[in-house]
Each structure stands twice: as C-alpha cells, then as structure tokens.
Amino acid sequence: MEITHVAVIGGSIGGLTTALLLCDAGFTVDVYERSSRVLSGLGNGIVVQPELVRYLVERASTDIDAVSVSSSTMQYVDAITGEQRGAVSAEWRFTSYDSIYRRLLELFGTDRYHLDKNLVGLAQDGESVQLRFADGSDVNACFVVGADGGMSTVRQRLTGVTPQYAGYVTWRGMVEPADLPEATWNFFDNAFTYGHLPNGHLIAYPIPGEEPGVVKRLNFQWYWNVPTGPELDEIMSDCHGIRLPVSVHAHALCPRTLSELHRRSETLAPMFREVVKASPLPFVTVVSDANVKSTVHGRVALVGDAAITPRPHAAAGAAKAAYDGWTLTDALAGSAEGRVQRLKEWERRQLAVGRGYLKKVRKMASRLQYGGDFAPGDPEFRFGLPREP
Ligand code: FAD
C-alpha cells in the first residue's frame, strides 16, 4: 500500500499525537477538526499516564513538572458522612486537557491544522480515500485516520457502531483554592479522592492552575445514575429546551438543572458540598461506551475514542488515544509492501488492549455506581491501560 499523504479527522489529543508521529515518520499530514475554534477542555483534569505524555517527553523535551502537579495518596471517603474508608500511598500526576492539547498544537503548528472542517462523507477505492466536509469542500488522501472521538462519524460510516448510554451522567467542574475554606482545600490537595455513595460516586483531584500565580485548582466529577427517559431528557436539555446528545455546558444549563445540582449537594458531607457549590461553571456529560469488531477498513484506521470508546474510570482514555497513535505509526512507517499485513497485526493488538480496558472500566463502574465494595488500593482497578497480550 503506497502512502504519502495522510488526513487525520479530529484534532484533539489522539488526532494531534498521531499527526505529529506520522510527520516524524516522513508522511505529509493534514488534520481536519470540526470545531471552528481552537479546542478547550473547559479545564478538565486528566491523570497523567506514560502514553499520554510520551510524545512530549521523548520528542519535545517537555518538563512534566511544568504541565502537571503531583499527589501521593488515594483516599476513599463516605461522601455522605465524610468518614474515611481507607487510604493508600499512590504517586500520581495530574494535568489538564488544555495543558496537553495546547502543547501538542504548538508542536504541530496551525498551517496544516484545519478548523471548521466537519467530516460528513467518506468513500474509498483501492488508491485513495475521498473526504467530504460540511462546508462542501472535498479532500483526497492516500490514508485516513479517524480520530474523531466517541461520536465518531468515521466509525459510524465504516461500522455503523454508535455509543451506548451507560446509565449515568457525570457533572464536572473546577474550583479555585481561594473559593474553598482552607481546611477543605487541604483535605483534597495532594490526593486523588473517591467519594462513595450508595447510588453513584464522586472523584476530586488537584490540577495545574490557569491564572498566573495560581499553582493549582481542584477538579471534581459527580456521577449520577439516571435512567433513559424524561429524567435524562430534562438534565440533557439546554436553556432553550434543546435535547443535547453529549454535554450541556455551563452557559447553556437550564436554571432548574443547576438548582437540582445544588439541591442534591445538600445531601453530601460538607467537604464535597462545598466543592460542588463553589464551582462557578459546572457542566454535565452523558457517560457512554462503544466496542467495535474492526478498526482497519482498507485505507482508513480508527484510533482513540473513535475506535473503542471507554468510560472514564481508569483514567487512561486519552492515553489509549496516544498509544493507538504510536502503534499505528509503527505499522504505517517502513516499506509499502508489508503495510497491509502490519496494519492487520496492529488492529489485533489494538483491539486486545482496547477491549481489555473497556472490560476493566465497565467492572469498575459496576462497583462504583451501585454502592458495591470498592476496596481501597485494589490492584485490579489501578489506573492505566492493560498490558499488551
Ligand atoms: P476526543 O478528545 O473526543 O476528540 C475528538 C475530536 O474530533 C474533537 O476535537 C472533535 O471536535 C473532533 N470531531 C468529531 N467529529 C468530527 C467530524 N465529523 N469531523 C471533524 N472533526 C470531528 N482520559 C484520560 O486519559 N484521563 C482522564 O483522567 C480522563 N478523564 C475523563 C473524564 C471524563 C468525564 C470523560 C468523558 C473522559 C475522560 N477521559 C480521560 C477520556 C478522554 O477525554 C478521551 O478518551 C480522550 O479525549 C480521547 O481522545 P480522542 O482524541 O480519541 O477523542
């Protein structure tokens, strides 16, 4: 299979990492991103896994201290009584989506990073792939990488697979240290905290600050079990009454939904209640996942959430996207003759890692969301990707 020009659909962590690696391997690469503006993760926290920062460390000499903060403990707390259920020593680093994305984009540059390119059509013959965007433009590429996330159009076109709602939503938000009582900030600082509930759970951990001089902020998530139907439709409808498929951002939240968040936070122990109430811009996202039978279709390959979409509980979704980029580049680089065979082998390994990860996060959810026994420090649920088989 001859390849010179690669088109990457989706310019987030998976798309940019793959694009950078393919450029380093000698391919000409263009990235097509649906968003009309440079992306923002709304301050989302990400637990640092080696695969996530591998490009930044190995190819761009990035100082990890400059883009992340550290912690030394995992603590497990009853989120209603505030009683501690356990704590273990655990060294983790935390970063934010924006810190990683901005650095990757800086390295790739904007010349071949095309915003406002929403892929709507894809066809291929033996020689090339033809892409159609919503603005009416067409692009031809020798090879296409679908890195367009959990609602992937590329995956939908190739496999018909769409993500399945997992039965719960997650509230996310960010709090500045100055907006919390000192004792509450100290409680969450230097730890990854699980807040257990009979019907859901919370997590909280510090991430790098955004404002100059502010070293850290607190990132939290609160997972609510919500059955499909009117209750879910109400939470996922914005202030104009439009039912949104994935997220309702803070500026679009219905005042009634925000009041419900604050009302429910009254049932939490003071430290969790204070965090939820102090968050100025909370937003809500449905949790979904998706599995696929194949990730290579002729001259198209799927990576990251566009391949297998995992739930977030083992903190390695972005790392999986980066891992797919590294391993796909290994398969594409080198001689044209063996490429089809190498892609086949890549797909086998990628599916094994992705399915192993999906199995792990689904099992974590079955304990975390339904009041099950989530033992402190259980090695089965250690964050990260499973090893390659
Ligand atoms: P995405 O980041 O989803 O990017 C897809 C991109 O494609 C987007 O920029 C989108 O605009 C673009 N796109 C979509 N459709 C089109 C189209 N038709 N045409 C062109 N462009 C398109 N991961 C971790 O590693 N650690 C964590 O701690 C962590 N926490 C998480 C918490 C939550 C609540 C959630 C929901 C996820 C979390 N993740 C975490 C997972 C992580 O966010 C994703 O796994 C990761 O972002 C996947 O990267 P990606 O590049 O594959 O897809």
Tell me, what CATH number does 296's domain have? 3.50.50.60
Q: Are residues 281 and 293 in the same domain?
A: no
Whether 322 lines ligand 1, by a CB cut-off of 6 Å, is: no
Whether 156 lines ligand 1, by a CB cut-off of 6 Å, is: no
Angle at Cα 38 formed by Cα 312 and Cα 169, nearest 5°?
A: 25
ipTM computed for the complex: 0.94
Whether 319 lines ligand 1, by a CB cut-off of 6 Å, is: yes
| pLDDT in the model for residue 321 | 98
| pLDDT in the model for residue 41 | 67
State the distance from the centre of ligand 1 to the C-alpha of 14, rounded, in angstroms: 8
Tokens describing residue 304: 């990251």
Domain containing 112: what range?
Answer: 5-40+98-163+289-370
381 found inside a domain: no
Q: Are residues 26 and 137 in the same domain?
A: yes
Beta bridge pairs of residue 204: 193, 220
Helix (H, G, I), strand (E, B) or coil at 276: helix
Helix (H, G, I), strand (E, B) or coil at 5: strand
**Total structural domains in the chain?**
2
pLDDT in tens, 172-227: 999 999 999 999 999 999 999 999 999 999 999 999 987 656 689 999 999 999 99
Q: Are residues 244 and 186 in the same domain?
A: yes
| pLDDT in the model for residue 211 | 66
220 neighbors 279 (Cβ within 8 angstroms): yes
CATH number at residue 85: 3.30.9.60
376 found inside a domain: no
Give exposure, 308-343, as e/b (b: 16+ Cβ within 10 Å): bbbbbbbbbbbbbbbbbbbbbbebbbeeeeebeebb
Q: Are residues 181 and 213 in the same domain?
A: yes
198 found inside a domain: yes
State the distance from the centre of ligand 1 to the C-alpha of 83, rounded, in angstroms: 34
Q: Are residues 20 and 89 in the same domain?
A: no
| pLDDT in the model for residue 43 | 60
171 found inside a domain: yes
| pLDDT in the model for residue 95 | 93
387 found inside a domain: no
Q: Looking at 256, 288, 320, which one is the last position of a domain?
A: 288
Ranges of the chain with pLDDT below 70: 41-43, 211-214
Q: Are residues 102 and 26 in the same domain?
A: yes
State the distance from the centre of ligand 1 to the C-alpha of 297, rounded, in angstroms: 22
β-pairing verdict for 283-289 and 69-78: unpaired
Q: Are residues 122 and 159 in the same domain?
A: yes
| pLDDT in the model for residue 66 | 85
Helix/strand number for the chain, H first, E second: 11, 18
Q: Looking at 240, 255, 288, which one is the last position of a domain?
A: 288
Whether 166 lines ligand 1, by a CB cut-off of 6 Å, is: no
